Chains A and B, each alone.
Chain A
Amino acid sequence: MFNTGLTSNDLWLLAQGAGMTLLVTAIAVSLGTILGIIFGVLRYQLGPWWALPLTFVLDVFRSIPLLIQLILANAFVNMILVPTLKIGKVSGFTVACGVLAMYTAAYCSEIVRGGIEAVPANLRRASRSLGMSWGQDMWNIVMPLATRVALPSWIGLALGVMKDSALVYIVQVPELLKNTQILITRLQEPLLLLMICGLFYFLISFPIARFGGYLEKRWSND
């Protein structure tokens, strides 16, 4: 009743794609989070006016489709930078990680800023008047409290980046959806293959999203 041309090799191709999806996500999210924290703290410290250029640049990453960001970055690096600097070709993987990291950073800076703003100003004044330096105040007072506010949204962001990493096929990175596409072209069994592909995303995303929701409920202040 159930016939399929799917072989173990094909499943291995899908697994490799899944691994690539996770790898790109891991690199982009960790880089992006570090950048996002730096940008977020900067934006908070500079205040709305002086941070305007930074806010604008980060806003651009949120207002342009990721697909176009990837194409533009790839074209800029490989058609313009590479001949100018006379360096070797930059792989799609590097470009994808870079763009996704900036994309993560743009959203993450917003989350970080929100987290810092959620720490009561009086608490910080108290810590400073106890003789803590700015760094000590940031590390010992603000960070633990801001993390509570920010972590649930950060989990949401990380999952969003995982789902958006499906777009890196455009710069020739063989991730899960791209490999599924390749197999669909060969086997002509779109439904089965797409089900497998969708199931993978769902199985990773769903439990973590639930966990984020749980944290949000558990850690909310009321």
Chain B
Amino acid sequence: MFNYSFRWNQAFASLPQMLEGAWVTIQIALLSMAIGITIAILLTVFRRSGNKLLSGVASTWVEVARNTPALFQIYMVHFGLGGFGIHLSPYLSLLIGIAFNNAGYLAENFRGALKAIPETQTRAARSLGMSQGQAFTNVVMPQMLRISFLPITNQMVWAILMTSLGAVVAMNTDLFGVTKALTDRTFRTFEYFAIAAVIFYVITKVITVSARLLAARLFRY
């Protein structure tokens, strides 16, 4: 049918290597999400603090993260910080770049979620004698995280897809990097990347489906 002989066996032989790469990809995505959520909560607090400097920092972070390409952000972490004499390994650059992006998008999601939580709850908590911090961490934040559960899983999928951008900082241990190294050696671009695509598809599907099941389990009333 095609004037091209597929060599799937050769590609399948390197499946273990690629699965190892997939594991690194998942690690990076999970770590970047953990860091991203933490920073996003901090940014949300900064934005609500009323302090000009802090909310300025938070807004700048969110706008830069949302209005420039993720590829650019990762590039900036690796080569831009290199200009200041800070040289990070590809793994760290990729992790920091994705975490930066996650934090920006998640902070915006959190802001949307906060709109759904009535201000009266904070006031009620305060009049029960909780401090500002206690009211936020015990009353507002759990609800905020619950409302933005689905956006968070979406961001997790984005984080998985974004790990492929590590190619630009010569990352070679994640799924994309491993596949790229294999194709550079074998020139079987189509076969290897088709397998990588399937692995990516399975990972993202597992995440979305398990998130949906988890949401049904956690948030039933």
Q: Give chain A's interface residues, CB within 8 Å of chain B.
A: 60, 63-69, 71-72, 75-76, 79-81, 83-84, 159, 163-164, 166-167, 170, 177, 181, 184, 189-191, 194, 197-198, 201-202, 205-206, 209
Nearest neighbor of B207 in chain A, beta-carbon distance: A63
Which secondary structure dominates where chain A touches chain B? helix
Q: A65, A84, A202, A205: which contacts B200 (Cβ < 8 A)?
A: A65
Contact (Cβ within 8 A) B2 A84: yes
Q: Determine the chain B residues whose CB is within 8 A of the CB of A198 once the complex forms.
A: 64, 68, 72, 76
Contact (Cβ within 8 A) B200 A63: yes
CA of A35 to CA of B68, assembled, Å: 26
Q: Determine the chain A residues whose CB is within 8 A of the CB of B67 once the complex forms.
A: 159, 163, 201-202, 205-206, 209
Is B56 close to A, CB under 8 A?
no
Q: Say how far A65's CB is from chain B's closest CB, in angstroms.
A: 4
Q: Mark B71-94, 1 if CB is under 8 A from A, else 0.
A: 110011001101110000000000
Q: Provide 10 A-B residue pairs closer than 8 Å at the C-beta atoms, listed in order of the A residue.
A: A64-B161, A68-B197, A68-B200, A72-B194, A79-B189, A166-B72, A184-B79, A194-B76, A201-B67, A201-B69
Nearest neighbor of A206 in chain B, beta-carbon distance: B67
Q: B4, B83, B196, B204: which contacts A79 (Cβ < 8 A)?
A: B4
Contact (Cβ within 8 A) A194 B201: no
Known contacts A66-B161, A190-B83; is-contact A60 B201 (Cβ 8 Å): yes
Q: Determine the chain A residues whose CB is within 8 A of the CB of B55 once the complex forms.
A: none
Contact (Cβ within 8 A) A71 B189: yes
Contact (Cβ within 8 A) A72 B80: no
Q: Determine the chain A residues whose CB is within 8 A of the CB of B204 once the complex forms.
A: 63-64
CA of A66 to CA of B161, assembled, Å: 8
Contact (Cβ within 8 A) A63 B157: yes
Contact (Cβ within 8 A) A194 B79: yes
CA of A201 to CA of B71, assembled, Å: 12
Q: Determine the chain B residues whose CB is within 8 A of the CB of A67 once the complex forms.
A: 164-165, 167, 176
CA of A63 to CA of B156, assembled, Å: 12
Q: Say how far A88's CB is from chain B's closest CB, in angstroms.
A: 15
Q: Determine the chain B residues whose CB is within 8 A of the CB of A84 once the complex forms.
A: 1-4
Nearest neighbor of B83 in chain A, beta-carbon distance: A191
Contact (Cβ within 8 A) B79 A190: yes
Nearest neighbor of A190 in chain B, beta-carbon distance: B79
Contact (Cβ within 8 A) B80 A167: no
